Amino acid sequence: MKVKIPREINIGTYKYIVKLDSNLPDFGLLGQCQTDDGIIKLSPEQNINVRNVSLLHEVTHAIKDVFRFDADDDTVDRIAHGMAEFLFNNLEIEFDWSLIQGGENGICNHRKAQ
């Protein structure tokens, strides 16, 4: 089942704009959650499977920030990978990026594993 990624998502009373940004501030950065600015940025250079998990990672950061619970980046990453396993491999959900500018092809920082 395809699920369209909306341009704007709501978490609690906060709104986040989801966008692809090839100008993330650090080499190797896959995504960034800017809670104060209400923006989730993702690198468009990553393949679609990595982008999907990166979105879940940044959304987990947003949830953590809005609902004020502590979790380091490694914990956030494990939660995101667990959600990905459930959504993509068990429910067979496929993210559709067509509403996100530049996504037709398929500050909390998510870094590529070294």
Q: What's the structural domain count of the chain?
A: 1
Q: 2-4 and 94-96: which strand pairing?
A: parallel
Distance of alpha carbon 108 from alpha carbon 34, whole angstroms: 7
- pTM for the whole thing? 0.88
Cβ neighbours of residue 114 under 8 Å, at least 6 residues apart?
Answer: none
User: What pLDDT shows up at residue 103?
Assistant: 54
Distance of alpha carbon 40 from alpha carbon 4, whole angstroms: 16
Phi, psi of 77 (to 5 degrees): -65, -40
Domain that holds residue 40: 2-111
Q: How do residues 38-75 score in pLDDT, each as one tens digit?
A: 999 999 989 999 999 999 999 999 999 999 999 999 99
User: What pLDDT shows up at residue 113?
Assistant: 44
